[in-house]
Amino acid sequence: MIVNPTVETTSLSTSQLRRIYSMRQVRWSDGTAIAVFVLPSQHPVHQRFSKDVLRLFPYQLDRIWNKLTFSGLGLRPILVNSEQELLKKIASVPGAIGYVENKEGVDNVVVIKVND
């Protein structure tokens, strides 16, 4: 997991990540809005993140996001097309969170720990 340097959180639990990615938690503990970035559902990194970290299938996330969008109760996460684009967005948007497969060479973002 990576976040914008403005985010003060150093670790998140799996349940916190599920709340963030199901768009139920929309603010960090300091009140800053959370900007959630994701890769396309078919992307291998998104599929591994969904299954291994969130313990949800990608189609389950899509259903949650579609329900929020179509009911008018919320918005989908912001979709980016590549890990490079995701890194640029996380680095430039305050309160942003996202995921990448490889932590090596990650600059201008903060890597946070995921606790079970």
CATH code of 30's domain:
3.40.190.10
Q: State pLDDT tens for residues 45-80.
A: 999 999 999 999 999 999 999 999 999 888 899 999
Q: Is pLDDT of 36 > 90?
A: yes
Domain assignment present for residue 7? The answer is: yes
HSE of 66, CA atoms in CB hemisphere, 13 A: 7
* Interatomic CA distance for residues 28 and 48, integer angstroms: 25
Domain that holds residue 50: 2-104
Q: CA torsion angle for 114, 4, 77, 39 (degrees, to 10)?
A: -70
* Tally of structural domains, the chain: 1
Exposed e or buried b for every residue in 88-100, given b needs 16+ CB within 10 A?
ebbbebebbbbbb
The pLDDT assigned to 105 comes to 67
Confidence band for 107, pLDDT divided at 50, 70 and 90: confident
Domain assignment present for residue 9? The answer is: yes
Domain assignment present for residue 112? The answer is: no
Domain assignment present for residue 109? The answer is: no
Domain assignment present for residue 26? The answer is: yes
Q: Is pLDDT of 33 > 90?
A: yes
The percent of residues in the chain predicted with pLDDT above 70, rounded, is 97
Distance of CA 24 to CAs 5, 12, 33, 62, Å? 22, 15, 12, 14
Element (H, E) at 113: strand 113-115
Domain assignment present for residue 111? The answer is: no
Domain assignment present for residue 51? The answer is: yes
Q: CA torsion angle for 63, 83, 106, 97 (degrees, to 10)?
A: -20
